[in-house]
């Protein structure tokens, strides 16, 4: 079995060259934060406990609906994807779990796959079902929907697939099923808007019934695409309605790219938390729609504000508050390993910044309706360069101080290009 890609020596000598400069930066930040009454060591410990899962499908060049431009050495199957995710984890120490997608990651022996991942220092996060594409040899088509289809046989097939995903997930040590359906319509009148949701709820309840006791079913809403007039689980309202109807194990998952433009996502976070239904996130960024760009690349302030709400939520937890964090991106112009390293850093950095908010000052300003002081409490935290905290936490966990720089010295893709098959051309996936 494949073991870790990097030796401890490689990381050690990389860090040895950088640790003095990092210690200086950290000490300066420590002094700055101490003046603000913030204990940097506490922030670093909280950062050290944070982790975010990576999607197996994010390890390849995703492509767009128009084209795919694979890179030499790109992974071609789940084994190679795990290898790349293992390297990301070794370098960054913040992405210890992989979220698989079925049937894309189908293998014959899941116990062996779990062991293979463990040897690379990885576990498995939520399993994702796929009833938004037809697969070769499939009995019924999802062309008119899956869990909400008007055809009972199609619904049964979609239910069975989700239950099979739960079974696979059990073997992989996963504890959540994420369900995103592409079901919807392109024409007014094409389907009854109420009945399609009823059919979805009925089918989803059958999946829910198959969940093991300690599992969650994460419902991922999306406003549009592939359907462009209506989508069955279109927004957090529909998602929450469904999660409430299904039961306590059903929670809502927020993909940052799945909203109408300019929607206040951080407020959705607060609302779902209030209802005890905040189940998880798919982190990415977007300018137009479900762009699947790298987290924090377009709107880092939004990412910070989301984490600010998460920090608030943790201060007033609801039963079962334990959101599942995952990256969900399509890497079309970068090496996916580099994108995921940088995205994970942006995500954990936003969390660190949110921890710096002077909550007492914020609360006092909110109570006295002092908008500018309230905003300044957030802005001060957002403006702070938390890189030394994140880098030191990473180094202490055994990762690289500058993961991207170390990765660039490895010649990883060149080596993998010799070992791996070439990925075919063609359009990508959603």
DSSP element (H, E) containing 92: helix 78-92
Q: How far is the CB of 122 from ligand PSV (least distance, A)?
A: 19
Q: Residue 192 or residue 287: which is nearer to ligand PSV going by CB?
A: 287
> Of all residues in the chain, what percent are helix, strand and coil, respectively (each to 5)?
50, 10, 40
Helices (H) and strands (E) in the chain, counts: 16, 12
Six-digit token string for 142 = 């999802």
Could you tell me if 57 and 101 are in contact, meaning their C-beta atoms sit under 8 angstroms apart? yes
Query: How many other C-beta atoms are found inside a 10 Å radius of the C-beta of residue 108?
Result: 6
Q: How far is the CB of 19 from ligand PSV (least distance, A)?
A: 38
Q: How far is the CB of 409 from ligand PSV (least distance, A)?
A: 32
Q: Residue 163 or residue 430: which is nearer to ligand PSV going by CB?
A: 430
Q: Residue 219 or residue 346: which is nearer to ligand PSV going by CB?
A: 219
128 makes contact, choosing from Mn ion, ligand PSV, none, with CB < 5 to 8 Å by partner type, with ligand PSV
Q: How far is the CB of 312 from ligand PSV (least distance, A)?
A: 26
Q: How far is the CB of 176 from Mn ion (least distance, A)?
A: 13
Could you tell me if 138 and 161 are in contact, meaning their C-beta atoms sit under 8 angstroms apart? no
Rounded Cα gap, residues 104 and 110, in angstroms? 14
Sequence-distant contacts of 16-20: CB under 8 A, at least 24 apart:
18/401, 18/402, 19/395, 19/401
Binding site for ligand PSV (CB under 6 A): 57, 128, 180, 220, 222, 255, 282, 290, 328, 429-430
Q: Is 298 left (phi over 0), alpha (psi -120 to 50) or beta?
A: alpha
Whole-number Cα distances in Å, 68 to 71, 132, 226: 10, 19, 18
Rounded Cα gap, residues 76 and 415, in angstroms? 15
Could you tell me if 242 and 204 are in contact, meaning their C-beta atoms sit under 8 angstroms apart? yes
Q: Residue 285 or residue 402: which is nearer to ligand PSV going by CB?
A: 285
Q: Residue 290 or residue 402: which is nearer to ligand PSV going by CB?
A: 290
Residue least distant from ligand PSV (Cβ): 180
Could you tell me if 253 and 219 are in contact, meaning their C-beta atoms sit under 8 angstroms apart? yes
Rounded Cα gap, residues 241 and 252, in angstroms? 10
68 makes contact, choosing from Mn ion, ligand PSV, none, with CB < 5 to 8 Å by partner type, with none
Q: Residue 283 or residue 412: which is nearer to ligand PSV going by CB?
A: 283
Rounded Cα gap, residues 9 and 7, in angstroms? 5
Q: Residue 387 or residue 429: which is nearer to ligand PSV going by CB?
A: 429
Q: How far is the CB of 225 from ligand PSV (least distance, A)?
A: 7
Q: Which residues pair with 251 in a beta bridge?
A: 218
What is the separation, in whole angstroms, between the first and last Cα of the chain?
A: 32
89 makes contact, choosing from Mn ion, ligand PSV, none, with CB < 5 to 8 Å by partner type, with none
- For the chain, what's the residue count? 430
Q: Residue 97 or residue 282: which is nearer to Mn ion going by CB?
A: 282
Q: How far is the CB of 185 from ligand PSV (least distance, A)?
A: 17
Q: Alpha helix (H) ranges present in 74-192? A: 78-92, 110-119, 152-172
Binding site for Mn ion (CB under 5 A): 255, 282, 290, 328
Q: Residue 125 or residue 255: which is nearer to Mn ion going by CB?
A: 255
90 makes contact, choosing from Mn ion, ligand PSV, none, with CB < 5 to 8 Å by partner type, with none
429 makes contact, choosing from ligand PSV, Mn ion, none, with CB < 5 to 8 Å by partner type, with ligand PSV
Q: How far is the CB of 270 from ligand PSV (least distance, A)?
A: 22
Q: How far is the CB of 215 from Mn ion (least distance, A)?
A: 19
């Amino acid at each position: 079995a494949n073991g870790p890609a990097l030796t401890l020596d490689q990381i050690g000598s990389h860090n040895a060259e950088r640790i003095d400069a990092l210690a200086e930066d950290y000490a300066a930040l420590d002094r700055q934060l101490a003046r603000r009454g913030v204990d940097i060591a506490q922030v670093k410990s909280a950062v050290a406990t944070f982790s975010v899962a990576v999607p197996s499908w994010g390890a390849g060049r995703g492509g767009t609906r128009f084209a795919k431009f694979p890179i030499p050495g790109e992974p071609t199957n789940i084994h190679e994807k795990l290898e790349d995710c293992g390297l990301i984890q070794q370098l960054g120490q913040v992405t210890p779990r992989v979220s698989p997608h079925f049937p894309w990651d189908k293998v014959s022996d899941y116990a062996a796959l779990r062991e293979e991942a463990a040897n690379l220092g990885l576990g498995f996060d939520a399993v994702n079902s796929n009833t938004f594409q037809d697969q070769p040899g499939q009995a019924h088509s999802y062309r008119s929907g899956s869990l909400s289809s008007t055809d009972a046989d199609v619904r049964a097939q979609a239910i069975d697939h989700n239950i099979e995903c739960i079974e696979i997930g059990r073997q992989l040590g996963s504890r959540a099923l994420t369900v995103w359906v592409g079901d919807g319509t392109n024409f007014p009148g094409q389907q009854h808007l109420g009945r399609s949701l009823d059919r979805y709820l009925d089918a989803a309840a059958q999946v829910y019934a198959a969940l093991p006791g300690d599992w969650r079913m994460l419902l991922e809403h999306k406003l549009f695409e592939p359907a462009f007039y209506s989508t069955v689980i279109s927004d957090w309202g529909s998602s929450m309605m469904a999660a409430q109807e299904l039961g306590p194990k059903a929670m809502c998952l927020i993909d940052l790219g799945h909203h109408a433009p300019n929607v206040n996502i951080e407020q959705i976070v607060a609302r779902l938390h209030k209802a005890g239904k905040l189940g998880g996130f798919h982190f990415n960024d977007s300018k137009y729609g479900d762009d699947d760009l790298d987290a924090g690349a377009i709107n880092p302030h939004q990412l910070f504000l989301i984490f600010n709400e998460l920090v608030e939520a943790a201060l007033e937890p609801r039963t079962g508050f334990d959101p599942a964090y995952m990256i969900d991106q399509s890497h079309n112009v970068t090496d996916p390993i580099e994108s995921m390293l940088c995205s994970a850093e942006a995500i954990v950095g936003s969390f660190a910044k949110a921890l710096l908010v002077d909550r007492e000052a914020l609360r006092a300003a909110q109570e006295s309706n002092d908008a500018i002081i309230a905003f300044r409490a957030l802005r001060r935290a957002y403006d702070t360069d938390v890189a030394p905290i994140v880098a030191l936490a990473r180094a202490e966990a055994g990762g690289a101080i500058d993961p991207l720089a170390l990765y660039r010295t490895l010649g990883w893709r060149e080596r993998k290009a010799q070992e791996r098959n070439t990925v075919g051309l063609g359009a990508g996936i959603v």
